[in-house]
Chains A and B, each alone.
Chain A
Amino acid sequence: MSLAILHWSLFASQLMLGLAMLAALWRIVSGPRAQDRILALDALYVVALLLLVTLGIRTNSQVYFEIAMLIALLGFVGTVALAKFLMRGEVIE
């Protein structure tokens, strides 16, 4: 019984995360400003992280948690680089 609950709740959460990705995608594609797109990409990274966590629970494997950890640790590098590019015109001064 509890397995079934877990299975369905995982499916539901993954589906909702997928929808969240779609929402983020909408912001990336439509903009309108570059800042919107960058923030949306950052959100996309966070959602991907969560998706991988749920995937790890579903497959009972720790490997996915590590990918999630790396996204958490380094996923923001791209965002920072983009932000600096917008604010200062170049990434490394």
Chain B
Amino acid sequence: MPTELALTLIWSLPFLAAVIAMAMPAGARNGEAWLAGTVAAVGLVLTILLFPQVADGGVVHSTITWMPAYGLDLAFRMDGLAWLFCVLVTFIGLLVVLYARYYMSPKDPIARFYALFLAFMGAMLGLVMSGNIIQLAIFWELTSLVSFLLIGYWYHRSDARDGARMALVITGTGGLALFVAMMLIGHIVGSYDIDVVLASGRLIAEHPLYPVTLILFLLAAFTKSAQFPFQFWLPNAMTAPTPVSAYLHSATMVKAGVFLMTRFWPVMAGTDMWFWIVTYGGLATLLFGAYAALFQRDLKGLLAYSTISHLGLITTLLGMGTPLAAVAAIFHIANHATFKASLFMAVGIIDHETGTRDVRKLSGLRRSMPFTATLAIIASGAMAGVPLLNGFLSKEMFFTETAIYDPNVFVNLSLPIVATLAGMLSVAYSIKFVHGVFFGPEPTGLEKTPHEPPALMRRPIELLVLACLAVGIIPGITIGPYLAAAVVSVLGGDTPYYSLSVWHGFNLPLIMSIIALLGGVAIYVPYYRRLRGIDGDPLLRGLRGQRIFERLLITATNRWARKMVSVFGTQRLQPQIFIVVLLALAAGVGAGWARMGNLPLPSSFDPVLGLVWIVGGVSALAAAWQAKFHRLAAMILMGGAGLATCITFAWFSAPDLALTQLLAEIATTVLILLGLRWLPKRLPVPEDISIGMRLRRYRDVILAAAVGLGTGLASYAIMTRQAPEGISEFFLANAYTEGGGTNVVNVMLVDFRGFDTLGEITVLGVVALTVFGLLRRFRPAPDSADRPEQQRVQADFAEAQGSANVAADFLRIPALIMNWMFPVVMTVAIYMFLRGHDLPGGGFIAGIVMSLGFILQYMAGGTRWVEDRLRILPVLWIGWGLLIALLTGLGAMALGFPFLTSAFAYADIPLIGKVPMATALLFDLGVFALVVGATVLMLIALAHQSIRRPKPASTPQPRKREGLDTWN
């Protein structure tokens, strides 16, 4: 159990802390840093404590069941590889937190930085620990999203926004591909469980769907790890704050791609397709990255291209498919993370203390910042692959693997030659970094006088460089056991013998290393003056991935989109609706025509109901007829149709529905009338209508009639058939025994389908709040902004007669009755509510009755009169309603039952007798309060427009096409 707890804590603490960090005050720099640092430290300690359990290929699991029937659980597992990544993520995270405490300016929104940082840490930990491949894809997307926000942290800068957007588009595309790939893998293997997938052997590689799966899978890995041809987003992501670059774009996020390839290496690798794509994709990246890095004048750009190059090295190793190459890949992942994170931090310090990262302006910094210079030089040595540093060991292993004899001549030659060439280039750019920044004459023309940073800001680099040295000199002791655990977890029983010792004798890889070192010097020394002033490589300058990407993006999202809109779009509503309805009709006819069968004639006929239906049908038709030019008449007619519906419900023994229909009818009438007052006046009807318009109207009538008749026919066909065996029988049989009520409808609402109801009332509350929010800045049409004509005429008349208040005299007697009705209506509401569980009624009906009681008062006395005497706080009603409903459900959970389980009993109340009491009644109380709140909120919001005397809207401007074009 403690193991599971530890696993859960490792991934969940960062997310929790992210929420806390967001809520902390703006100036709490130290508090934020302590919080983030503590979380990272706790994660690190917990991970380290778990090591004995994963040391010998062991796996630790923690599963939170969610939808076991679909194989969807929140599953986490830790094996050696996940352990290594967890240590990297938390350890480097801890150092970056310390570093960022000094790097970030007090003017930056620090809460957002730490919250996103922590969320990223959580996403990354969740990614490497995922025990379910769908979940892995989700955490993968999460890292893309959070990294987008982190790159765009300084969103007032356009380059940050562009870089962030590019990273999101590229990695997000990869994430989508990964999701599909994971579903394909799940389909092939038959399980989404990562253990099952990893144990499936050659199943995936021999499946016919393997090529598709592999392409999608590699698309994800290549985009994330910035492999050729997707490498261009990474240099643009350098607009992020340096701590973010040090963390995301060297040590963690870009490693997710190679992590993915390593994770699935046992089941995906080893085929020809894998070999060619991965090895040569990686090799191209390796060479291109190293080449481009040499020509960067921005130090972060240099490091970014170097990162691309090193990721290419890891990818190449993974592509080769031999177990030893996989060992080297895992080893290099850890090494690269340590030296690259420290280099990024060193560049951040240089930037921070001198005000520039431009290599042309910097030189001779070793005098003013000797400690930082020493550290950066050692880390650069590791980057270049100098012996006795960790980079040398894994690079040596890489050379060894490339030099292995391959029967294919092309492979046999290209691998070692390109590897040595890239090694030379990487030595050259490392020298450029060291020599250009730290050696030479004193810098001139800097904004600040360079000096050493605070000691604590340097501490993370010191620790990382120490790790580089320790691993480089005594690898067997420092990293041996941990690397072994990671390797065993990937390779299992196939783990080959490998040696971590520094000296392997004088062999071919050593010769390649020597050539690389000397060659690098030979490249740099003759050209260093020219390299210093150059920006961008001379050969490929015209061919910029970024440009191509942007061109494509503009074409796809702007040009094509506009083309599509001009071909398919219209600004007129009528044709759109016509097409939608026509398609619906076509779909309905297509689906229903063949299955209609023969329709039996009705067996009996009730003439009274027939009359009611005539009333309803004629009302509805007449309402449609009048809707365009006589709104009030149409509304009254709708009232008639609604009443007919209500009687029909009652006739067919659905009193609940009849009640609800009746009350909704009344409430809607008032609501629409309130809105009707603010609608613009209709334009006068032109007498002579053109023949085209006439034809169009006939066309529309025919379509409307066809759809109406079709719907009626379909309903008739369904209702004259034997109903299939549904769940209604269950509800009828169990309403009393399980739910404690004899009104099945209400028991369904508050008990059986209580969760649905909870969702529905939430939506109702949201809708009411939205209506309220929209109406707060309501601008009516200019011609309805004034007081209504009636009021003006009456006010003039009253003035002429010398009477003061004409409004109060209108409807005097009805108003008095309406006032006196208030307690009666309230009593009825309570009655309807209390008996709802057994007889027609319930929270919803009672709620509408109650709100009608309130509306009556508003209509009788006017807004001011009511609000002087009665304070209704509808938002509070909504809030309490939701809270009561939720707490009832949670109460059941507190007692150990599933959410929203209801209990019932009979209570003996004096004078009244035995009263059935169900906890569902409490839930219903929540429904009641929310319905009252929502209805009253909307009606009052509309009613308040009359007091507010809102400003009229400005007359609408015809949209200018040119303006739109220039904007685009």
Nearest-neighbor residue (CB-CB) of B610 within chain A: A18
A52, A78, A85, A87: the one within 8 Å of B639 (CB): A78
19 A-B contact pairs sorted by A residue (CB < 8 Å): A15-B607, A15-B608, A28-B640, A29-B622, A34-B632, A40-B636, A51-B612, A66-B655, A67-B659, A70-B828, A74-B666, A77-B669, A78-B669, A87-B810, A88-B807, A89-B791, A91-B673, A92-B862, A93-B863
- A-side residues, CB < 8 A to B, are 11, 14-15, 17-19, 21-22, 24-25, 28-29, 31, 34, 37-38, 40-41, 44-45, 48, 51-52, 55, 59, 63-64, 66-67, 70-71, 73-75, 77-78, 80-93
Contacts of B674 in A (CB 8 A): 90-92
Q: CA of A30 to CA of B390 in the docked complex: distance in angstroms? A: 95
User: Would A88 and B633 count as touching, CB distance under 8 A?
Assistant: no
Q: How far apart sit A30 and B614, CA to CA, in the bound complex (Å)? A: 15
Asked if B946 and A22 sit within 8 Å, CB to CB, the answer is no
Q: Which of B655, B670, B828 contacts A77 (CB 8 A)?
A: B670
B886 within 8 A of A: no
How many CB-defined contacts (below 8 Å) exist between A and B? 169
CB atoms of A63 and B655 under 8 A apart: yes
CA A11 – CA B610 in complex, angstroms?
Answer: 13
Q: State whether B811 touches A80 (Cβ < 8 A).
A: yes
Interface centre among A40, A45, A71, A91 (most CB of B within 10 A): A91
Q: Which residues of B sit under 8 angstroms from A71, Cβ to Cβ?
A: 662
Q: Which of B176-184, B207-215, B427-435, B853-861 contacts A (4 or more CB under 8 A)?
A: B853-861
Q: Does B651 contact A (CB under 8 A)?
A: yes
Known A-B contacts A70-B659, A73-B824; the reply to A21 vs B650 at CB < 8 A is: no
Q: Are A22 and B655 in contact (CB under 8 A)?
A: no
Which of the listed residues A15, A22, A48, A75 has the most CB atoms from chain B within 10 Å of its own CB?
A: A48
Q: Is the CB of B790 within 8 A of A63?
A: no
CB neighbours of A63 from chain B (8 A): 655, 839-840
Chain A residues closer than 8 Å to B610, beta-carbon distance: 18
In the assembly, what is the distance between CA of A59 and CA of B677, in Å?
A: 43
Confirm or deny: B619 has a beta carbon within 8 angstroms of a beta carbon on chain A. yes
Tell whether A91 pairs with B677 under 8 Å between CB atoms, given A34-B632, A80-B811: yes
Chain B residues within CB distance 8 Å of chain A: 607-608, 610-612, 614-615, 618-619, 622, 632-633, 636-637, 639-640, 643, 646-647, 650-651, 653, 655, 658-659, 662-663, 665-666, 669-670, 673-674, 676-677, 787-791, 794, 807, 810-811, 814, 818, 821, 824-825, 828, 839-840, 849, 852, 855-856, 858-859, 862-863, 939, 942-943, 946
Q: Which residues of B contact A52 (CB under 8 A)?
A: 647, 650
Choose one: B655, B828, B939; the contact of A64 (CB below 8 Å): B655
Q: How far is the CA of A21 from the CA of B612 in the complex (A)?
A: 7
Known: A19-B611, A88-B790, A90-B677. A82 touches B859 (CB 8 A): no
- Of listed B611, B653, B943, residue having the most chain A CB within 10 A: B611
Alpha-carbon separation in the docked complex, A45 to B639 (Å)? 9
Q: Does B811 contact A91, Cβ atoms closer than 8 Å?
A: no
Q: Shortest Cβ distance from B485 into chain A, in angstroms?
A: 73
Distance in Å: Cβ of A40 to nearest Cβ of chain B:
8
Q: Which residues of B contact A40 (CB under 8 A)?
A: 636
Known: A15-B607, A21-B615, A87-B811. A34 touches B643 (CB 8 A): no
Complex contact A93–B807 (CB within 8 A): yes
Q: Is A88's CB under 8 angstroms from B810's CB?
A: yes
Query: In the complex, what residues of A have CB within 8 A of residue B655's CB?
Result: 63-64, 66-67
Give the residue name and chain of the A residue nearest to B636 (CB). Answer: A37
Residues of B within 8 A of A75 (CB): 662, 666
A81 touches B669 (CB 8 A): yes
Say whether A80 contacts B859, CB under 8 Å.
yes
Given A85-B677, A92-B858, A93-B807, also A25-B619 (CB < 8 A) = yes
- Contact among A11, A70, A81 for B663, CB-based, below 8 A: A70
Q: Which residues of B contact A90 (CB under 8 A)?
A: 674, 677, 788, 791, 946
Kindly provide the distance from the CB of B850 to the nearest chain A CB, expressed in whole angstroms: 11
CB <8 Å contact, A41 and B640:
yes
A85-B673, A91-B673, A92-B674 given; 9 more Cβ-contact pairs under 8 Å: A22-B611, A37-B632, A44-B615, A48-B643, A48-B647, A67-B662, A87-B790, A88-B791, A91-B670
Partner of B943, one of A59, A80, A92: A92
Contact B636 A82 (CB under 8 A): yes
With known contacts A41-B636, A41-B639, A92–B669 Cβ distance under 8 A: no
A14 to B611 Cα, complex, angstroms: 10
Chain B residues, CB < 8 A from A80: 811, 814, 818, 856, 859
Minimum C-beta distance from A3 to chain B (A): 19
Report Cα–Cα, A31/B634, bound state, in Å: 11
**Contact at A44–B643, with CB atoms within 8 Å?**
yes
Contacting residues, chain A, for B659 (C-beta < 8 A): 66-67, 70
Given contacts A63-B655, A70-B659, A80-B814, contact A93 B636 (CB under 8 A): no
Let me know if B636 and A28 touch, CB within 8 A: yes
B619, B639, B676: residue with the most chain A Cβ atoms closer than 10 Å: B639
Residues of B within 8 A of A45 (CB): 643
Docked-complex contact B849 and A74, CB < 8 angstroms: yes
Closest to A17 in B: B608
Report the Cα distance A17→B790, complex, angstroms: 36
A17 to chain B, nearest CB (A): 8
Chain A residues whose CB sits within 8 angstroms of the CB of B643 once the complex forms = 44-45, 48
Q: Within 8 Å CB of A81, what residues of B?
A: 669-670, 673, 859
For A20, the closest partner residue in chain B by CB is: B611
Given A34-B632, A71-B662, A90-B788, decide whether A55 and B611 contact each other with a Cβ distance below 8 A: no
> What residues on B are CB-neighbors of A67 within 8 Å?
646, 650, 655, 658-659, 662
Instruction: Check A25 against B618 for contact (C-beta < 8 Å).
Output: yes
Contact status A92-B662, CB under 8 Å: no
A-B residue pairs, 6 tightest by C-beta: A89-B788, A18-B611, A92-B943, A89-B790, A78-B669, A93-B862
Residues of B within 8 A of A88 (CB): 788, 790-791, 794, 807, 810
- Please report the C-alpha to C-alpha distance between residue A59 and residue B670 in the assembled complex, in whole angstroms: 33
Q: Hey, which chain A residues are within 8 Å of B650, CB to CB?
A: 52, 55, 64, 67
**B825/A73 in contact, CB under 8 A:** yes
B618 to chain A, nearest CB (A): 6
* Contact assessment for B666 and A25 in the assembled complex, using a CB-CB cutoff below 8 Å: no
Residues of B within 8 Å of A24, CB to CB, are 615
Residue of B nearest to A37 (CB): B636
Min CB distance A78 to B, Å, is 4
In the bound assembly, the distance between CA atoms of A28 and B636 in angstroms comes to: 8
Bound state CA distance, A83 and B669, in angstroms?
A: 12
CA of A74 to CA of B665 in the docked complex: distance in angstroms? 11
Q: Give CA–CA (A84, B863) in the complex, Å.
A: 14
Bound CA–CA A62/B677 (angstroms): 40
A90-B862 Cα distance, complex, nearest whole Å: 10
Q: Which residues of B contact A34 (CB under 8 A)?
A: 632-633, 636
Name the B residues within 8 Å of A44 (CB-CB): 615, 639-640, 643
**A89 and B945 alpha carbons, distance in the complex (Å):** 13
Bound Cα distance from A75 to B640, whole angstroms: 12
For the complex formed, measure the closest distance between the CB of B659 and the CB atoms of chain A, giving whole angstroms: 6
Contact present for B651 and A55 (CB under 8 Å): yes
- Contact across chains for A77 and B647 when beta carbons are under 8 A apart: no
Cβ of A48: which chain B residues have Cβ within 8 Å of it?
A: 643, 646-647
Check A38–B859 contact: CB distance below 8 A. Answer: no
User: Which residue on chain A has the smallest CB distance to residue B811?
Assistant: A84
Residue pair B663, A74 in contact (C-beta under 8 Å):
yes
- A33 → chain B closest CB, angstroms: 10
Q: How far is the CA of A64 from the CA of B674 in the complex (A)?
A: 31
* Residues of chain A within 8 A of B665, CB atoms compared: 78
Q: Which of A15, A29, A51, A64 contacts B618 (CB 8 A)?
A: A29
Q: How far is the CA of A73 from the CA of B823 in the complex (A)?
A: 12
**B863 partner residues in chain A, CB cutoff 8 A:** 92-93
Complex Cα spacing A87 to B487, Å: 86
Q: How far is the CA of A35 from the CA of B161 in the complex (A)?
A: 62
Tell me the bound Cα distance from A3 to B659 in angstroms: 29
CB distance from B292 to the nearest CB of A (A): 71
Interchain CB contact under 8 A, A25 and B640: yes
Decide: A77 near B632, CB < 8 A? Known: A44-B615, A51-B647, A93-B946: no
